[in-house]
Structure 1
Amino acid sequence: MLAEEMKGVLAFLKSAEKLKDTLRSGHTSGGRGESTAEHTWRLCLMVLVFARELPGIDVLKLLKLCIVHDLGEALSGDIPAIFQTEGAHKSEQERSDLQVLTQPLPPAQRSEILSLWEEYEAASSPEAVLAKGFDKLETILQHNQGLNPADFDYAFNLTYGLKQTSAHPLVASLRAILDEETRAHATEQGRIR
Structure 2
Amino acid sequence: MEHLNEYLDFIRTVEGIKSVTRTAWTKTGRQESTAEHSFRLALLALTLIDEFPELDAKKVLSMCLIHDLGELYAGDIPAISNTDPLAKSKQEYLDICRIFQILPEPKRSEFLSLWNEYNNCSTPEAHLVKALDKAETILQHNQGKNPPDFDYAFNLTYGASYFKGDPRLEELRSILDAETNAVIEHTQEKENHHL
Bucket of the pairwise TM-score, normalised by the shorter protein: over 0.9
Task: Determine which of 33, 55, 65 is the counterpart of 1:35.
Answer: 33
The 1-side partners of 2:54 and 2:88 are apart by 32
* TM-superposition CA deviations, 1:36-70 (whole Å, max 9, x none): 11101111111111111112111111111111110
Q: Which runs of 5+ in 1 are unaligned?
A: none
1:141-160 matches, cutoff 5 A: 141-160=139-158
Aligned residue in 2 for 1:45: 43
- Structure-to-structure mapping, 1:20-169, within 5 angstroms: 20-169=18-167
Count of aligned residue pairs for this structure pair: 189
Q: TM-score, normalised by structure 2?
A: 0.92
Deviations for 1:112-149, whole angstroms, at most 9, x for unmatched residues?
Answer: 11000000011111100001000000000000001111
- Pair 1:94–1:87, CA change in 2 (3 A): closer
Contact 1:65 1:120 in 2 (8 A): yes
Which runs of 5 or more structure 2 residues have no equivalent in the other structure?
190-195
Q: Percent identity?
A: 49
The TM-score with structure 1 as length reference comes to 0.93
CA distance in 2, matches of 1:88, 1:125: 21
* 4+ aligned runs moved over 6 Å, structure 1: none
**1:12 equivalenced with 2:10 (yes/no):** yes
Is the 8 Å Cα contact of residues 133 and 167 (structure 1) preserved in structure 2?
A: no
Segment drifting more, 49-58 vs 78-87? 78-87
Per-residue deviation, residues 141-174 of structure 1 (Å, max 9, x unmatched): 0000011111110001111101112243222211
